[in-house]
Chain A
Amino acid sequence: MLTCREVMHPTTTPLYADEPLGKAIDFIMERHMGLVPVVDRQERFVGFLSGERLMRALLPRHLTMVRGLDRMGYLRESREELRERLDGLTQQPISTVMESRAEVVHPDTPLIEAHTILADTQFVVPVVDPDSGRLLGAISFFTILALLRGEPCWSDRLEQAAGKTN
């Protein structure tokens, strides 16, 4: 039986939930990453920061707090107004913007559980230690396809590429 341990890609993250969002935005812009796991100070997985969450946070919160996003068509905002809102966001802790309702799996969980989550709701499924809740790795459609095709996973290839250039 294929378990999550065999498929997962070991993952660490530099983002702590209590850190300011500005740091996360720096990291995302630098790495061009659309989805980053967030941990607490005990290295336990607590959520994801995604491009969608950031874009939602950058909308006027008075409108996002109650309804769908389809009735803001009357807004005509300038770059300064967006910029002011971004400045207001950067001091907030990451935890206020991240998605904290992500589903997680354990290393010994059968792969099918992670597979169905990927097919259904999430782009990435974090693999956490069943006792401590620490983030161990992550499974995505890419790690599964890479395993089946016998290819190294995307981040391995990134590291290899980085190694070549160095």
Chain B
Amino acid sequence: MQATEATVLFGLDPLGVSAGIFVMAYGFLLSERIHRTVVALLGAAAMLLSGVLTQDQAIAGIDFNTIALLAGMMVIIAITRRTGVFEFIAIWAAKRARAEPIGILILLALVTAVFSAFLDNLTTVLLVVPVALLIVDKLKVSPYPFLFSQILAANIGGTATLIGDPPNILIGSATHLSFNDFLLQLGPIALFLLGLVLLVFYGIWGRSLHTTPELKERVMRFDARGSLRDMRLLRQSLLVLGLVILGFIIGEHFAIAPGTTAMSGAALLLLLNGIGEDRRGQAEQVRVALEEVEWSALFFFIGLFVIVHGVQSTGLLERLAAGLMDVTGGDPMVTAFTTLWLSAAVSAVIDNIPFVATMIPLVHSMEAGLGGMAAAEPVWWSLALGACLGGNGTLVGAAANVMVAGLAERAGTPISFLRFLLIGMPLMIASVALANVYLYLRHFL
């Protein structure tokens, strides 16, 4: 028989035990000495073994909508990228700019922003940055403006939609806010900030990025269509991707959660992909597609959900929320703006996923005190904007930044922490300040 009520070992105070596990897990995540997935799973195991949670409670704490959304999109993207369509778009954009360096910088940043609004940021930069570096190498111009603009565009683009960035996925999954709510609330400010960042880049590098007609010719010779392969798979992938995005948009009217939409899309694409294959061929295709799923990320989320559920179940987060309410006086505007700047500051230095996962139940606890769900809505947008935009502050602020830094290093042009800080931090502070004004104008005027 399974225990329905957890009993903490040695009769210790559950609140203290859960707080201890939580703080230790965060400490290990910060130190980065042990892989984050191992830390999250060990923390989750500790919540169960110490008796803070039963297994049933732990499973109830896992947000399977988020897991399904992530896994489904991973499968769809893994299959779609095999068609070369993402390279096709990047090369097409570079040629549209007539191989003019600043034009390529701007168009590739737009491509990255749009991709990362609908794909995950890591996949986006992994697809676009190598192509950008190749072009930069052909044109013999400095790679740094391109690398920096890619990082900023990935994080700003990811802010725009519910599926753009893990913080948004988590917030969208835990609240009543729909795909369209995200698009309408965060899309405009993301677009505005992207334009502003590109304007700044144009101001700084617009005149200094020089190349020669001969070198431009090398880029103009690229044949974008050469990257496309398997036209049948391409049509299938684009159809499914289109259906899934449509599903995100209209799903709320039919009570279909984004996780269901993404998983259904993945299943459909696997089916289409396997048509005409024998059993062995199908098995091979499924195996290859599932191999691309980042299981370590999914298990990280699972562990994290259990840890956060543990501290939530003991009432620790409610106490913290009550403390925060004392500070902000329960005023929605003060709470929203505090959340915005706090999220940005925290996300600039640590992984925003555990931070947002912790903040979600905390904000839920504050909802009543703020005057209900509608009154608390700006706080959710503040959390999303702060967590996503804060990632631009430093080179370790977001996973995409770390990935771009890694690619740059492998390409022989490493990005120094300080060099990125000097451009990322001022732009991050400016964009959070503008987001603050935007929130004020939209919700509190």
- In the complex, A149 has a CB within 8 A of chain B: no
Is A76 interfacial (CB-CB < 8 Å)? Answer: yes
Among B206-244, those with CB < 8 Å from A are 218, 221-229
| Contact present for A74 and B137 (CB under 8 Å) | no
Contact B222 A63, beta carbon cutoff 8 Å: no
The answer to whether A62 and B137 have CB atoms under 8 Å apart is yes
List residues of chain A with CB within 8 A of the CB of B225.
74
Known: A73-B229, A76-B223. A66 touches B130 (CB 8 A): yes
Q: A63-B134, A65-B130 are in contact. Are A71 and B84 (CB under 8 A)?
A: yes
Complex Cα distance A81/B217, Å? Answer: 12
B126 contacts the other chain (CB 8 A):
yes
Q: How far, in Å, is A30 (CB) from chain B's closest CB?
A: 30
- Assembly CA distance A66 to B403 (angstroms): 11
Residue A55 at the chain B interface, CB threshold 8 Å: no
Q: Would you call B389 an interface residue if the criterion is a C-beta within 8 Å of the partner chain's C-beta atoms? A: no
Inter-chain CA distance A78–B221, complex, in Å, is 10
Kindly supply a per-residue 1/0 record for chain B positions 97-126, scoring 1 wherever the CB is within 8 Å of any chain A CB and 0 otherwise: 000000000000000000000000000001
B229 surroundings in chain A (CB, below 8 A): 70-71, 73
A60 near B: Cβ within 8 Å? yes
Asked if A32 CB lies within 8 Å of chain B CBs, one says no
Task: List 23 A–B pairs whose Cβ atoms lie within 8 Å, in order of A's numbering.
Answer: A60-B134, A61-B410, A62-B133, A62-B137, A63-B130, A65-B407, A65-B410, A66-B130, A66-B407, A66-B410, A67-B130, A71-B84, A73-B84, A73-B229, A74-B88, A74-B91, A74-B224, A74-B227, A75-B226, A76-B223, A77-B221, A78-B218, A81-B218
Is B411 in the interface zone, CB < 8 Å from A?
Answer: yes
**A77, chain B: closest CB distance, angstroms:** 8
Interface residues of A in 39-71 (CB under 8 A from B): 60-63, 65-67, 70-71
Q: For chain A residues 73-94, which have a beta carbon within 8 Å of chain B?
A: 73-78, 81
Min CB gap B312→A, angstroms:
39
Q: Is B87 an interface residue when CB atoms closer than 8 A count as contact?
A: yes
Question: Which 10 A-B pairs rank lowest in CB-CB distance, beginning with the nearest?
Answer: A73-B226, A62-B133, A74-B226, A76-B221, A74-B227, A62-B134, A65-B410, A74-B222, A62-B130, A74-B91
Chain A: interface residue count, which band?
Answer: 10 to 19
Complex contacts, A78 vs chain B, CB 8 Å: 218, 221
A85 to B172, CA, bound (A): 48
Q: Are B126 and A71 in contact (CB under 8 A)?
A: no
CB closest chain-A residue, reference B81: A71
Q: In whole angstroms, what is the CA distance A59 to B85 when docked?
A: 21
Nearest chain-B residue to A76 (Cβ)?
A: B221
Chain B residues with Cβ under 8 A from A65's Cβ?
130, 407, 410-411
| Contact call A76/B126, Cβ cutoff below 8 A | no
A70 to B126, CA, bound (A): 15
Distance in angstroms from A87 CB to nearest chain B CB is 14
- Most chain B beta-carbon contacts within 10 A, residue among A61, A62, A81: A62
User: Closest CB of chain B to A49's CB: distance in Å?
Assistant: 21
With a 10 A CB-CB cut-off, give which of A66, A70, A74, A78 has the most chain B CB atoms: A74
Expressed in whole angstroms, the Cα–Cα distance for A61 and B413 within the complex equals 12
Q: Closest B-chain residue to A61, C-beta based?
A: B411
B112-152 interface bits toward A, Cβ cutoff 8 Å, 1 = contact, 0 = none: 00000000000000100011011001100000000000000
Per-residue interface assignment for chain B, residues 49 to 93, with 1 indicating a CB less than 8 Å from any chain A CB and 0 otherwise: 000000000000000000000000000000000001001100100
- What separation, in Å, do the CA atoms of A61 and B408 have in the docked complex? 11
Cross-chain contact A66 with B223 (CB below 8 angstroms): no
A12-46 interface bits toward B, Cβ cutoff 8 Å, 1 = contact, 0 = none: 00000000000000000000000000000000000
Partner of B87, one of A71, A76, A77, A81: A71
Query: In whole angstroms, what is the CA distance A72 to B224 when docked?
Result: 10
Measured in the bound complex, the distance between the Cα atoms of B222 and A81 in whole Å is 13
**Per-residue CB proximity of A119-134 to B under 8 Å, as 1/0?**
0000000000000000
Please state if A74 and B130 are interface contacts (CB–CB under 8 Å): no
A65-B407, A65-B411, A81-B218 given; A73·B130 CB < 8 A = no
Q: Which residues of A contact B407 (CB under 8 A)?
A: 65-66
- In the complex, which residues of chain A have a beta carbon less than 8 angstroms from the beta carbon of B84? 71, 73
Most buried by A among B88, B133, B225, B228: B133
Q: A62-B411, A66-B407, A71-B84 are in contact. Are A76 and B130 (CB under 8 A)?
A: no
Contact: A74 with B223, CB < 8 Å? yes
CB distance from A57 to the nearest CB of B (A): 13
Tell me the complex Cα distance, A66–B133, Å: 12
Rounded to whole angstroms, the CA-CA distance of A3 and B353 in the bound complex is 56
A94 to B440, CA, bound (A): 60
**Binary interface encoding of chain B residues 403-422 relative to chain A, with 1 for a CB under 8 A from any of its CBs, else 0:** 00001001110000000000
- B218 to chain A: which residues have CB within 8 Å? 77-78, 81
- Looking across the interface, which residue of chain A has its beta carbon closest to that of B227? A74
10 more CB-based (< 8 A) A-B contacts, given A60-B134, A67-B130, A74-B227: A61-B410, A66-B410, A72-B227, A73-B226, A73-B227, A74-B88, A75-B226, A76-B226, A77-B221, A78-B218
Interchain CA distance A72-B412 in the complex, whole Å? 20
With a cutoff of 8 Å between Cβ atoms, the chain B residues found around residue A60 in the complex are 134, 137
Contacts of A66 in B (CB 8 A): 126, 130, 407, 410
Nearest opposing residue in chain A for B221, CB measure = A76
- The minimal Cβ–Cβ distance linking B23 to chain A, given in whole angstroms, is 37
Within 8 A of A (CB), among B185-222: 218, 221-222
- A62 vs B139: C-alpha distance when bound (angstroms): 14
